[in-house]
Amino acid sequence: MNINGSQILIECLVEQGVDTVFGYPGGQVLNIYDALYKNKDRIRHILTAHEQGASHAADGYARATGKVGVCIATSGPGATNLVTGIATAYMDSVPMVAITGNVPTPLLGKDSFQEVDISGITMPITKHNYIVKDVTKLADTIREAFYIAQSGRPGPVLIDIPKDISAQFCEYEVEKPRPIGRTVHRIKQQDIEVAVSLLKNARKPFIYSGGGIIRSDAHEELLQFAEKLQAPVATSLMGIGGFAETHPLATGLIGMHGSKASNLATTECDLLIALGARFSDRVISDVSKFAPHAKILHVDIDPAEVGKNVKVYSSVIGDVREILTTFISLIPQMEHDAWIEQVRAWKEEFHFDYQKDETLRPEFILENIYDQTQGEAIITTEVGQHQMWAAQFFKYTKPKTFISSGGLGTMGYGTGASIGAQIGKPEMQVVHIAGDGSFRMNCNELSTIAYYNIPVIIVIMNNATLGMVRQWQTKFYEKRYAESTLDRGPDFALLAQAYGVTGYTITSQEEFSRAFKEALESNKPAVLNCQIGIDEMVLPMVAPGAAIHDLILE
């Protein structure tokens, strides 16, 4: 059929199984939005309050569903407003396709109104990007973009479409999406043999599980592998949910704010098995003191990650699910009872804890949310202290239920992400954990939540400060609180009400329990403004430059 570029875009999105896009219109995408209007029975468009909100919503949708998230923005400032969201997705390996408009091709490079070289700007933060200057190549470009976003190590891809290309006509034929195969061609038999020998000979093996387990849907294989190897399992921030935290072998979060059991086990193990993890500086801290007694076996889909941050003894490159399946078939049932007992003792002695009294504390809030939802919720977060409390005090048992900006640490991420997650998984309850500093950055997305009646429950840990900044200033800057105190508005409960969302001001444990129960039962959006102490801290904590076993506990 002979159709224009905008309709080609719609047909290709439908080909790829896209049912929802997030965006904000503008001059250079008017043709695309006209096509979206004509096809609103085929693709749902969610109008966000800001383009950054659209990019974070597409990201949250992708993380919650495992599908590709799609966002759309116009040229110039519309496109640049996507940049933070694209970078967030890139750092955390999230499959996303960002579609931007641009000025007509004859005006490219002439500093035209609202023109920007968005493909050049986003080159370092995308897996690939395109500017389409020939309408006959548009369909194949879109198909290739979706394939690249999902294949191998996932990530964002950008397609820049000049306005004249979206209006030009050409022939279009329907194609089935190219199947996404697992990366197995890089798996070398010799590497497998070395790895299996290490696994069989280890006396104190320890598994460090990262986001790759979730991206590869390898959580069941990880469970079988850990039980067969009889090895404890710690997770990175991005790996949360990949191994049930209620399992006896689970030791919880690893790294700067990880459990002491995880960090001690890393220090004392003789084999550290890193699965789909990139050895972030927030995990390893002082690299010279990281896993000092261990041979490190690194399994990852991206060879660029191997040896980048830590020296490894051996590696296997390829899809972690396929590699774990191979390991399971090649190792016997192992027994490491003494090692397991030692780790269990560390867990018992050093578990995450806090002073339990009548004070409204963030740890109580997370535990109460867990109890009231019976653990059946998707938790999204902003970035800061509340993010770490959410990682520590809610017991995650399933993948894709903890959604947070890990690599880039994007304040303002979570509200948009909660929108995408709730739309992608309407059968789940999404609870968004925010800090007052992060939430004010993108609280305008309350208008989106209210308009579409998205039943996200937003819990604000309001300590009237940039909490993590203040914690560092307290510990390492002699309490010089430079520009970190937020002694100013708004009243978040009143703000919510202004947008048509139910708002609560919470000052006690009883008030929180009652308000959260009401919000759950209402199946409507709500904001719970929880007033907690300004000097609440995230503990344990590894000081800058310290070894990860050298934790500040109080």
Q: Which one is predicted more confidently, 63 or 351?
A: 63
In this structure, what token pair is assigned to residue 478? 């002699």
- Decide which of 327, 350, 373 is a domain's last residue: 350
H or E element in which residue 158 lies: strand 156-162
Residue 179 in domain: no
- Judge if 145 and 223 occupy the same domain: no
CA distance 32 to 10: 8
In this structure, what token pair is assigned to residue 467? 């909490």
Each residue of 289-332: pLDDT tens digit? 999 999 999 999 999 999 999 999 999 999 999 999 999 999 99
Mean pLDDT over each residue of the chain, to the nearest integer:
97
- Judge if 64 and 16 occupy the same domain: yes
Residues 383-406: what's their mean pLDDT? 97
Residues 19-34: what's their mean pLDDT? 98
Each residue of 413-438: pLDDT tens digit? 999 999 999 999 999 999 999 999 99
At residue 354, the pLDDT reads 83
- Judge if 20 and 125 occupy the same domain: yes
In this structure, what token pair is assigned to residue 429? 């309850």
In this structure, what token pair is assigned to residue 283? 């995990």
In this structure, what token pair is assigned to residue 395? 């017991």
| Helices 219-229 and 320-330, packing angle to 10 deg | 30
Flag whether the pTM goes above 0.85: yes
At residue 48, the pLDDT reads 98
- Judge if 326 and 384 occupy the same domain: no
Residue 176 in domain: no
Catalytic residue flag (residue 347): no
Residue 341 in domain: yes
- Judge if 148 and 194 occupy the same domain: no
At residue 519, the pLDDT reads 98
**63 — pLDDT class (breaks 50, 70, 90):** very high
- Decide which of 292, 327, 350 is a domain's last residue: 350
Catalytic residue flag (residue 510): no
Of the candidates 468, 473, 536, 541, the residue annotated as catalytic is: 468
Residues 356-375: what's their mean pLDDT? 95
Query: Which CATH number do you get for residue 306?
Result: 3.40.50.1220
Is residue 554 scored above 90 in pLDDT?
no
Residue 144 in domain: yes
**355 — pLDDT class (breaks 50, 70, 90):** confident
**Total domain count, the chain:** 3
- Judge if 333 and 374 occupy the same domain: no
H or E element in which residue 296 lies: strand 295-300
Residue 255 in domain: yes
3-state DSSP of 489-501: CCCHHHHHHHCCC
Between the CA atoms of 386, 392, 397 and 400, what dihedral angle is there, to the nearest 10 degrees?
40
CA distance 49 to 51: 7
Catalytic residue flag (residue 51): yes
Residue-wise DSSP of 326-373: HHHHHSPPP--HHHHHHHHHHHHHH------SSS--HHHHHHHHHHHH
Residue 340 in domain: yes
High-pLDDT (> 70) share of the chain, %: 100
Residues 357-361: what's their mean pLDDT? 92
Is the bond into 540 cis (omega within 30 degrees of 0)? Answer: yes
At residue 364, the pLDDT reads 97
Of the candidates 22, 52, 115, 163, the residue annotated as catalytic is: 163
Residues 242-254: what's their mean pLDDT? 97
Residue-wise DSSP of 119-143: HHHTGGGSSEEEE---GGGHHHHHH
CA atoms in the 13 A half-sphere facing the CB of 284:
19
- Decide which of 299, 317, 350 is a domain's last residue: 350
Query: Which CATH number do you get for residue 457?
Result: 3.40.50.970
Of the candidates 11, 51, 268, 536, the residue annotated as catalytic is: 51
Residue 554 in domain: no
- Judge if 87 and 165 occupy the same domain: yes
Range of the domain at 409: 362-542
Cα 519 to chain centroid distance, Å, stands at: 25
- Judge if 287 and 394 occupy the same domain: no
Is residue 357 scored above 90 in pLDDT?
no
Tell me the residue type at 390: A
- Judge if 165 and 204 occupy the same domain: no
Radius of gyration of the chain (CA): 24
Is residue 124 scored above 90 in pLDDT?
yes
In this structure, what token pair is assigned to residue 229? 């190897």
Residue whose pair of structure tokens reads 């506990």 in the numeric block: 553
Of 314, 317, 263, 315, whose CA–CA distance to 292 is shortest? 263
- Judge if 386 and 534 occupy the same domain: yes
Tell me the residue type at 494: L
Of 230, 228, 207, whose CA–CA distance to 330 is shortest? 228
Of the candidates 113, 224, 349, 356, the residue annotated as catalytic is: 113
Residues 443-467: what's their mean pLDDT? 98
CA distance 243 to 234: 8
Residues 22-38: what's their mean pLDDT? 98
- Judge if 118 and 203 occupy the same domain: no
Catalytic residue flag (residue 113): yes
Each residue of 70-84: pLDDT tens digit? 999 999 999 999 999
Is residue 183 scored above 90 in pLDDT?
no
Residues 249-262: what's their mean pLDDT? 96
The dihedral through the CA atoms of 194, 204, 308, 126 has a sign that is: positive
Is residue 352 scored above 90 in pLDDT?
no
Catalytic residue flag (residue 428): no
| β-sheet bridge partners, residue 299 | 275, 316
- Judge if 402 and 506 occupy the same domain: yes
Residues 365-370: what's their mean pLDDT? 98
Residue-wise DSSP of 401-436: -EE---SS--TT-HHHHHHHHHHH-TTSEEEEEEEH
CA distance 244 to 64: 17
Residue 549 in domain: no
At residue 353, the pLDDT reads 79
